[in-house]
A and B are shown apart, each in its own frame.
Chain A
Amino acid sequence: MSGGRAARRGAGAAWALGAALLFACPAPAADLEAGRRRAQDCFACHGPEGNSTNPAMSSLAGQPAQFIAMQLFQFREGNRKDPKMTPPAVGLSNADLNDLAAYFSAQKPAMLAKAPDPATAAAGRRLTEQHHCVQCHGAALMGQQHIPRLAGQQRGYLRVQLRGFKAGTRADIDGFMTSATQLLSDKEIEILADYLSGLGGQ
């Protein structure tokens, strides 16, 4: 964006594009390779390339970059607390977080192989519509912006998060998830975890 651009015409006024980028300390762009190197430390728990094989551990592969960066930020700042996640997040710079977000969001999610039985699938689908999950997490529940992908996420992890929101113990962005989970019974949380974790499976 250095140098002028041709002037545009619009609404009776001539408009010129802005130009010139002159500053000494630009913030670094998110670096996928730097993220890959740093992510090696995450694989022990979150699985290779961030595809978790442990039901209690979240999959990071293919999650929206903004979601990854935001959660790491919340761990680092102590707003979301976890004995395993807080220590590695502390000490990371914003650039580190953005690198990790760029890396994990670029990985292909390995969906779980097992789809839920038809009855669970139907009940789960109904719950995601009834409780408006699809409004934010997307029709295919693949997440967007700062909102996580639920499809193919680990069952145990989903269960713990939903229970935590319902109990008011899971850090929330604006109270939305806490409020949304209040009307869920424990049985419905089980159904949702089963359904969501199997989405995209064979």
Chain B
Amino acid sequence: MSENGLVFLSRAARTAGAVLFGAALLAAFPTRAQQPSDKPAAAPAPPPSWQQGRTPGEASSPLHPFAIHMTGRAAKELPVDKLIVPAGFKVEVWADGAPGARSMALGDKGTVFVGTRQLKDVYAVVERGGKRDVKTILKGLDSPNGIVFSKGTLYVAERHRITRYDGIEDRLDNAPDAKAVIDNLDPSKQPGHFWKFLALGPDGKLYFNIGAPGNIVMPSYMQGSIMRVDPRKGVLENVALGVRNSVGFDWHPRTKQLWFTEHGRDWLGEDSPSDELNVVKRKGEHFGYPFCHQGDTLDPEFGKNRSCSEFTPPALKLGAHVAPIGMRFYTGKMFPAEYRNNIFIALRGSWNRTIKQGYNVTRVSFDDQGKPKMEPFLTGFLVDEKADPPMWGRPADVMVMRDGSLLVSDDHNGIIYRVSYGK
């Protein structure tokens, strides 16, 4: 889960910043907060979620997640001219000034909606009279990472709920009130992988993840899964189990099977385990977490007396700690024909590894037997794989536009890039 990291506003605050979100910690340490003592604390506050599962020997590891630039960085002060795409393609900055930009959704009238994970905002990128503007349309939400647009309605997945904003594209300056689709998705209110990706299935149901509560922890009810809800009925169903955290999924345009990215656990080695690209062939399938990683590696703790054979292995190993986030099948007509029904995956890049990798948009294509293979498509964010930080930008989501071009969000800087072909 190389994606994890410093989650400044939501998850972070829940463990420790009691001042941010209420009295959780003060309640846990009432006397010490008021009466400083000269003795060490008896019950230390828990370490941050990203440190969970470290061995004692790793306490002095210099590896750490990277913080995003909460105020965004201007494209003109970054080496965007170092971005590389295959011959015939072009990459340009499409919009900046959208701090923390993550998941993207396309409105009926061409508005690009953008969610955030470490901020509390949802943006709309609009083009009016030749000007492209980033507007903040929703504020004060709880990690609004997941967004979907369908038939005039914007659906937003926060940590604890999914809401709908009907007719929002006609009133971006005065967004309608949120209506709940489903609530109580965050019963524990604890740190963990509880920001959500959101996608609309071919069945008209909303699909979302509820990740694991830590790096390597036994999930409880509703955790470590991909679920779906019928927005008309509000009834939940399990789609996939044993999923540590998936922050990107899409349906194959022909087979209609659900493919999803998944972050493997940390602190199990530089090259182990691999992050995964998975496909759901049967509703309720179990993908192994926390017992078995990458389809063939038993967990040192939870894998005791288990076998990987009872779990579904990944369709493709994406590499250790590369942090696959958003993914989409390419359904546009602009790119060459061989790109049709390929998958583009935003690899946000590793932190839990000495030599950094990922930090690109990867293309997954399929051979005649349907076997997937991967190759880098958009690179240049990673500057020095041994440096701290190693990169200047991090891809977080991809989205196919109506003209067939591909948008790529970069939450590290709050920039959206556009990849096009020809012309």
Contacts and interface: CB of A to CB of B under 8 A. Distances in A.
Interface of A: 1, 5, 7-8, 13-30, 66, 69-70, 72-74, 77, 79-81, 94, 97-98, 101, 132, 135-136, 144-146, 163, 166-179, 182-187
B25 A168 contact: yes
A25 B131 contact: yes
A196 to B, nearest CB: 19
A146 B67 contact: yes
Contacts of B18: 168-169
* The 8 nearest A-B residue pairs measured at CB: A18-B91, A175-B16, A175-B15, A1-B81, A178-B16, A27-B97, A168-B25, A182-B44
Contact of A174 (B7, B28, B88, B388): B7
A182 B46 CA distance: 9
A16 B45 contact: no
Interface string B200-221: 0000000000000000000000
A16 B85 contact: yes
A179 B85 contact: no
Given A26-B75, A168-B25, A187-B38, A17 B81 contact: yes
Given A7-B87, A173-B6, A174-B50, A163 B60 contact: no
- Of the four ranges (under 10, 10 to 19, 20 to 34, 35 or more), the interface on chain B belongs to 35 or more
Contacts of B50: 174
A199 to B, nearest CB: 20
Is chain A's interface secondary structure helix, strand, loop, or mixed overall? loop
A79 B73 contact: no
Interface stretch (B29-37, B279-287, B298-306): B29-37
B99 interface: yes
Contact of B38 (A94, A182, A185): A185
B66 A69 contact: no
Contact of B71 (A73, A136, A175): A73
Contacts of B49: 174-175
B45 A182 contact: yes
A8 B83 CA distance: 12
B92 interface: yes
A21 B7 CA distance: 31
A15 B86 contact: yes
Contact of A176 (B48, B82, B99, B134): B48
B8 interface: yes
Given A79-B20, A175-B12, A167 B94 contact: no
Given A69-B70, A135-B60, 7 more contacts: A15-B84, A18-B81, A25-B131, A101-B71, A167-B29, A175-B15, A175-B17
B122 to A, nearest CB: 15
B250 to A, nearest CB: 24
A179 B17 contact: no
B76 interface: yes
Contact of A30 (B9, B59, B74, B90): B74
B15 A23 contact: no
B90 A19 contact: yes
8 contacts: A24-B130, A27-B414, A79-B20, A132-B59, A169-B18, A175-B46, A179-B16, A179-B46
Contacts of B380: 18
Contact of A15 (B45, B85, B388): B85
B133 A14 contact: no
- Counting chain B CB atoms within 10 Å of each CB, the highest count among A18, A23, A182 belongs to A18
A15 B91 CA distance: 12
B70 A73 contact: yes
A171 B75 contact: no
Nearest to B413: A27
